[in-house]
């Protein structure tokens, strides 16, 4: 039912992304660093700065499920990489903020992760090609759900 071209894109997309992800994970593991999932969260939190982010905001920004974020944050807190602060105007909520240790860990992860990206993607395509791929992948993103 899908065209052969669509099938090929799907197959390569799934295969390449898994393969590259695995490679990046391996590089981190080899460096004794935490998994990629931690990076994603630390990255968002680092961008958010002192204000921090609510867990539900992390869910919006990343693709993690709610229960996944909940437990990931518990692990990050246990590791001293983030801290949970109560929220003034919402007794249910909490604000998550990176600690200095968290920032440092993120920095060390980026040294490895960034190199992986450079090697696995940057070195394989020209700038023009990279922009083309970005544009086309952008077209595959979810159309914003209306409601």
> Contact positions toward DNA, by CB under 7 A?
29, 37, 54-56, 65-68, 70-75, 84, 87, 89-94
Name which of DNA, its own copies, none residue 107 binds, using a CB cut-off of 5 to 8 Å depending on partner kind. Answer: none
Contact 42, 106 (CB under 8 A): yes
What's the gap between Cα 44 and its chain centre? 8
Name which of DNA, its own copies, none residue 68 binds, using a CB cut-off of 5 to 8 Å depending on partner kind. Answer: DNA
The residues in 92-131 that bind its own copies, with binding defined as CB under 8 A, are 111, 114-115, 117-118, 120-122, 124-125, 127, 129-131
Exposure b/e, 42-74, CB count within 10 A at least 16 = b: bbbbeebeeebbbbebbbebbebeeeebeebbe
Which C-beta is closer to DNA: that of 52 or that of 106?
A: 52
Contact 118, 111 (CB under 8 A): no
Binding site for its own copies (CB under 8 A): 1-3, 5-10, 12-22, 63, 111, 114-115, 117-118, 120-122, 124-125, 127, 129-134, 136-142
């Amino acid at each position: 039912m899908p065209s052969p071209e669509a099938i090929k894109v799907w197959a390569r997309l799934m295969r390449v992304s898994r393969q590259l992800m695995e490679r990046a994970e391996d590089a981190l593991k080899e460096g004794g660093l935490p998994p990629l999932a931690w990076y994603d969260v630390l990255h968002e939190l680092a961008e958010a700065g002192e204000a921090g982010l609510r867990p539900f905001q992390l869910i919006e920004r990343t693709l993690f499920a709610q229960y996944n974020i909940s437990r990931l944050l518990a692990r990050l807190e246990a590791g001293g990489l983030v801290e949970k602060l109560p929220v003034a105007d919402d007794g249910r909520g909490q604000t998550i903020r990176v600690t200095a240790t968290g920032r440092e860990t993120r920095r060390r992860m980026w040294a490895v992760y960034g190199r992986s990206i450079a090697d696995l993607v940057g070195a394989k395509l020209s700038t023009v090609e990279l922009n083309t791929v970005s544009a086309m992948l952008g077209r595959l993103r979810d159309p914003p759900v209306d409601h």
